């Protein structure tokens, strides 16, 4: 058995080195660059439209008015997708990136997010464009649908669905539950099994209600946990306010190695910053991986472009806001090179401002972020299982296994599970990128038509 596990680990390491290696990372960011140029950098030039289609639309409560019995609002679709995106990566992943790549990694994280906005815009647009309606009136969509019905490559669509379904058990479930169990034990001394059982019950109650209940929960929990974490980070930064300017200087300095001595040292530092910044950025906001479009496809909207703008906002909220705040707290604390890593580093960094309270703050934040991720990924997995087997019986089986694995994740060492899930998460990007590149002309023509119609409507209104 041990030899089998060693063999799996070796094979996984080889595949992982490719899917999260320099070639794939450059491809992932490169796709975002391509869509940015071809749309005239829509994420900047149409920033007013993006605001009006997303946060601005909530002021008139239009999003809620559009919900139907079997669909969810555009805002709920975004929070469901953001639930799967926001996770322990925003707390642990950022710390890992800084330790591995230095503060300069954060600059490249921003770059990956800037271009990743357009990758996710394209994914979401295509998800709406090629979604199908089930017999009971639900909208079904995502990479598997636009790959099959757009590219007409069913085998590639099935491959994506298989990768996503299996990844949902690991990175979207057991790895998150393990973080919850550790956080509750460290902060409150709660037994791991107890944490696992309680989490399993909570998730079971939520996912049994389907996408409507998932959306109703995420539209409340995601804004709440984000606001609480943002306020905590801002307070921590206010206490260390004098260190903020030097933190930004350090980020830009190490991103380009402006003060490094010797070409070899400079190149090594910059390469690490580049690699880990891109990797953690993409891992955090999931632009190009194909998961979020599955949630967005369920939205009650008649505009693929407007729903795509929610995808842009999603990347902005995850990386530009949440990850940046965590980064600044870590760097301003002066502990980024202390030898600590992961959640221990983030907790110590907040502790530099909050003292002993930081353990509770980070632990509670971890619990909320992880639960949100589990909820989001349970929906992704369900839709993929439904696509593969075309049967509700398999969905029930999936839910049972998913809930049981929550308890397993809370009480088991998950190094290999995390590593394999990380690889599967990256493998999802390959069929998805083939899909959005192959259908890029539809993204451009749909965007162009949207603004042509908008311009015509404006003229008629006058």
Q: Which residue has the higher pLDDT, 457 or 446?
A: 446
What 3-state DSSP class applies to 140? strand
> Cβ(10)–Cβ(17) under 8 Å?
no
Give long-range contacts, CB 8 A cutoff, 24+ apart: 344-351: 345/95, 345/98, 345/99, 346/91, 346/92, 346/94, 346/95, 349/95, 349/236, 350/232, 350/236
* Residue from 399, 39, 88 nearest 213 by CA: 399
Tens of pLDDT, residue by residue over 35-89, are: 999 999 999 999 999 988 888 877 765 545 455 555 677 777 777 777 766 666 6
For residues 420 and 232, which has the higher predicted lDDT (pLDDT)? 232
Answer yes or no: are the C-beta atoms of 146 and 129 closer than 8 Å: yes
What's domain 2-461's architecture?
Up-down Bundle (1.20)
pLDDT of 270 above 70: no
**pLDDT class of 443 with cuts at 50, 70, 90:** very high
Q: Distance between CA 410 and CA 369 in Å, rounded?
A: 15
Q: Is the pLDDT of residue 326 over 80?
A: yes
Q: Which residue has the tokens 């509700």?
A: 392
Residue burial 25-55, b: 16+ Cβ < 10 Å; e: rest: beebbebbebbbebbebbbeebeebbeebbe
Cβ contact 285:86 at 8 Å:
no
Q: Which residues contact 462 (CB under 8 A, 6 or more apart)?
A: none
At residue 385, the pLDDT reads 93
More confident call, 462 vs 360: 360
pLDDT at 318 > cutoff 90:
no
CA 70 to centroid of chain Cα atoms: 25
Q: Which residue ranges make up each domain of the chain?
A: 2-461
Short-list 249, 326, 254, 244, CA closest to 284 = 326
Instruction: Write down the H helix ranges in 42-104.
Output: 42-45, 47-53, 55-58, 62-65, 74-85, 92-101
Please list, residue by residue across 62-97, b when 16 or more beta carbons sit within 10 angstroms of its beta carbon and e when fewer do: ebeebbeebbbbbbbbbbbbbbbbbbbbbbbbbbbb
pLDDT band at 459 (very low <50, low <70, confident <90, very high): low
pLDDT digits (tens, 9 = 90+) for 363-421: 888 888 888 888 888 889 999 999 999 877 788 899 999 999 898 888 876 566 667 77
281, pLDDT greater than 60: yes
Taking each continuous run of H as one helix and of E as one strand, the counts in the chain are 25, 2
């Amino acid at each position: 058995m041990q030899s089998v596990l060693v063999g799996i680990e070796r094979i996984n390491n080889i595949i992982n080195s490719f899917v999260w290696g320099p070639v794939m990372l450059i491809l992932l960011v490169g796709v975002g660059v391509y869509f940015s140029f071809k749309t005239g950098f829509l994420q900047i030039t149409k920033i007013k439209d993006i605001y009006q289609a997303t946060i601005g639309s909530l002021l008139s409560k239009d999003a809620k008015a559009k919900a139907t019995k079997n669909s969810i609002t555009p805002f709920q679709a975004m929070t469901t997708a953001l639930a799967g995106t926001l996770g322990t990566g925003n707390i642990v992943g950022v710390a890992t990136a800084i330790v591995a790549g230095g503060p300069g990694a954060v600059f490249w994280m921003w770059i990956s997010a800037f271009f990743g906005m357009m990758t996710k815009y394209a994914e979401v647009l295509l998800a709406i464009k090629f979604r199908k309606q089930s017999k009971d009136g639900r909208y079904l969509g995502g990479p598997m649908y636009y790959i099959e019905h757009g590219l007409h490559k069913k085998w590639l669509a099935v491959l994506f669905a298989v990768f996503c379904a299996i990844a949902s058990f690991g990175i979207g479930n057991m790895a998150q539950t393990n973080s919850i169990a550790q956080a509750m034990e460290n902060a409150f001394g709660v037994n791991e099994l107890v944490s696992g059982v309680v989490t399993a019950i909570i998730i079971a109650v939520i996912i049994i209600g389907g996408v409507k209940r998932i959306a109703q929960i995420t539209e409340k929990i995601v804004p709440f946990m984000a606001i609480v974490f943002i306020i905590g980070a801002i307070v921590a930064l206010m206490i260390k306010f004098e260190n903020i300017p030097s933190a930004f200087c350090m980020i830009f300095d190490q991103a380009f190695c402006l003060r490094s001595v010797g070409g070899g040292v400079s190149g090594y530092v910059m390469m690490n910053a580049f690699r880990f910044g891109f990797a953690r950025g993409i891992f955090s906001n999931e632009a190009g991986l194909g998961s979020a479009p599955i949630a967005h496809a369920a939205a009650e909207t008649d505009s693929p472009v407007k729903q795509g703008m929610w995808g842009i906002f999603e990347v902005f909220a995850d990386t530009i806001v949440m990850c940046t705040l965590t980064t600044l707290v870590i760097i301003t604390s002066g502990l980024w090179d202390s030898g600590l890593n992961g959640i221990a580093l983030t907790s110590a960094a907040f502790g530099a401002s909050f003292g002993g309270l930081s353990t509770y703050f980070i632990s509670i934040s971890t619990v909320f972020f992880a639960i949100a991720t589990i909820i989001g990924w349970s929906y992704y997995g369900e839709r993929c299982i439904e696509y593969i087997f075309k049967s509700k019986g398999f969905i029930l089986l999936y839910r049972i296994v998913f809930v049981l694995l929550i308890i397993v994740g809370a009480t088991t060492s998950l190094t290999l599970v995390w590593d394999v899930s990380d690889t599967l998460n990256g493998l999802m990007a390959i069929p998805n990128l083939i899909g959005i590149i192959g259908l890029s002309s539809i993204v451009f023509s749909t965007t162009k038509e949207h603004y042509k119609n908008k311009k015509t409507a404006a003229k008629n209104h006058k």
